[in-house]
Chain A
Amino acid sequence: MAEEIIGGKLEEQEFSINMGPQHPSTHGVLRMMLKLKGETVMEVKPQLGYIHRGIEKMCEKITYQQSIHLTDRLDYLSAHILNEAVCLTVEDALGVEVPERVKYIRTIMGELNRIASHQLWWCAFGMDLGALTSFFYGLRDREKILDIFEKSCGARLLLSYNVPGGLMYDIQSDFQKDVKDFIQYFKKKLPEYDDLLTGNPIMQQRTKGVGLLTKAQAIDYGVTGPSGRGSGFSCDVRKHQPYSAYSKVNFKEILYTEGDSFARYRVRMDEMWESMSIIEQLIDNIPEGDFALKMKPVIKLPVGEYYTRVEAVRGEFGVYIVSDGNKNPLRMKFRSPNFSNLAVIDTMASGQKIADLIAIGGSMDYVIPDMDR
């Protein structure tokens, strides 16, 4: 009877389904056009632009100091690192060297930002797989980092703590104590994450062997960050082209070669340990000195082209500035990691079940405003 109405068996029919833009498991306004055969995904076509704000165009009208505040609004979960990228480009173009103290603080804040972002990813990834408890665990611990951010610069998410030539304020007197307390606290809590989710057989069945991405595909598509490193693509900018204080610390680049959702999960879990180790190496050695250079109120970059690569939480973030000598750039291009990471979703999800598409999307850790810019 039912077959007569729909004209054939369900699994034999191919039909198109629209997912998003307002869908809880796409983590923002991402719309995907799916072609399904029964429950199997045949094709994924992402439709972007629902949160396109024209940030690159806006940057052409404003000064370099102002454009820092717009980079917050790209990948809002790695705001500090994105701010740092613009500052590094401007400092590089002007040929100024920031004080050592600034480099140390930037690196520590950047790694705290990375941990906070991975915590939120872990919460949401659990939710994507149907594990609600992880959400409370992750947010509970992330709160501690956000408190440190708030104490340092007054903001919790969109930090804008970096300015060209240094930092907006010096760190407050008990910054070191707060960070060390947090590290002590989180070292006890992180094994709980593994107990709760990593060893869970349902979680492993949902992620192992799902969403395979080979190393060659990762390089070809430019999939970077933990998603690329889960496929064995060694792409950590912190390691290959160290900036700020990364050349002064010892840390491992986490690499897994399986290329499935579980490998990407493991990379992020291990990265939280590495980030804590980086912070521990730096926190007691912050040099005395100025927290910012004295810069001119109006910054004009010399004519030329400048490119900076940094390792944001989700992959390689690049700032490309073309200057014609004026106080605002001729062109400011942001190479956002999520945009390149999204391009590969069709390759990864085709042939998988529709529920696995959610797990794959979760394991790639998409932030939509970073794609749309």
Chain B
Amino acid sequence: MEKEKLEEIILKFMPDAEIATDKQFLTAEVKNDQIHALAKFLKNTKETLFDYLFCESAVDFGDHFMMVYHLDSTTYRHQVVIKTKITDRENPVVDSVCDIWMGAEYHEREIFDLFGIGFNNHPDLRKIFLDNDWVGFPLRKDYTDTVNIVER
């Protein structure tokens, strides 16, 4: 599907989404509490059918986190990126998309482990890589580890 058409569909469903386009992907940024609804809409709508979540990641920009979901459709072979900003650094939480794409389960456990972002309605939210008694979240920008990280 053309990016313009896709933009139209997303804006029709969620008028306050912020749309950006680069040469590769169309990106839609929505509010924290809208991401689950948008994800569900994009998967189940006949014209979009984004049934394959190929990457889910978080980025720490210092003052806020950004959740990034890369979606692909195995029917139409088009891609879209949806994002949501998390401003609360003390207790960051976002809705889980496990019920939409099962593959999100491990990705979200990884983000929970390394960024400390919690996921509502996640079936099995545990640390995945680090020990249970690990202090801090290594992929955050303000993480300090005086033992294992050598500052040069």
Within 8 A of A (CB), among B9-63: 22, 24-25, 51-55, 57, 59-61
Q: Are A49 and B55 in contact (CB under 8 A)?
A: no
**Cβ of A220 < 8 Å from any Cβ of B?**
yes
Question: Chain B residues with Cβ under 8 A from A316's Cβ?
Answer: 54
A222-B52, A342-B106 given; A320·B57 CB < 8 A: yes
Contact A318 B22 (CB under 8 A): no
Chain A positions within 8 Å of B22 at CB level: 304-305
Interface residue? A333 (CB, 8 A): yes
Say yes or no: is A221 at the interface (Cβ < 8 Å to chain B): yes
Residues of B within 8 A of A309 (CB): 54
Interface residues of B (CB under 8 A from A): 22, 24-25, 51-55, 57, 59-61, 68, 70, 74, 77, 101-103, 105-107, 110, 114, 128-131, 138-139
Majority SS at the chain A contact face = mixed
**Bound: A333/B57 CA distance, A:** 7
Q: Chain A interface (Cβ within 8 Å of chain B)? A: 48-49, 52, 54, 56-57, 217, 219-224, 233-235, 240, 304-307, 309, 316, 318, 320, 322, 330-331, 333, 335, 339-340, 342-343, 372
Question: What's the nearest-Cβ distance from chain B to residue A126, in Å?
Answer: 29
Inter-subunit contact B106/A333 (CB<8 Å) = no
Q: Do B51 and A49 touch across chains, with their CB atoms under 8 A apart?
A: no
Q: Chain B residues near A234: list those with CB within 8 A.
A: 74
**Which residues of chain B are near A49, meaning CB under 8 Å?**
128-131
**Cα distance A342–B105 in the bound complex, in angstroms:** 11
Contact B103 A318 (CB under 8 A): no
A309 to B74, CA, bound (A): 15
Contact call A307/B70, Cβ cutoff below 8 A: yes
Contact B77 A240 (CB under 8 A): yes
What is the CA–CA distance of A132 and B18 in the complex, to the nearest angstrom?
Answer: 58
Are B24 and A307 within 8 A (Cβ)?
yes
For the complex formed, measure the closest distance between the CB of B80 and the CB atoms of chain A, giving whole angstroms. Answer: 12
30 A-B pairs within 8 Å (CB atoms) are namely A48-B128, A49-B129, A49-B130, A52-B130, A54-B138, A57-B138, A217-B102, A222-B53, A222-B101, A222-B103, A223-B103, A224-B54, A235-B52, A306-B24, A307-B24, A307-B25, A316-B54, A320-B57, A320-B70, A322-B59, A330-B59, A331-B57, A331-B139, A333-B59, A335-B57, A339-B106, A340-B103, A342-B106, A343-B102, A343-B106
Can you name 12 extra interface pairs (CB under 8 A) apart from A306-B24, A320-B70, A331-B57?
A48-B129, A56-B139, A57-B139, A220-B51, A222-B103, A223-B103, A224-B54, A316-B54, A333-B57, A335-B54, A335-B57, A340-B103
Which residue of A is nearest B127, CB measured? A49
Complex contacts, A223 vs chain B, CB 8 Å: 103
**Contact at B55–A335, with CB atoms within 8 Å?**
yes
What chain B residues lie within 8 Å of A340 (beta carbons)?
103, 106
The 3 closest A-B pairs by CB, nearest first: A222-B103, A49-B129, A52-B129
Residues of A within 8 A of B106 (CB): 339-340, 342-343
Q: Do the beta carbons of B128 and A219 come within 8 Å of each other?
A: no
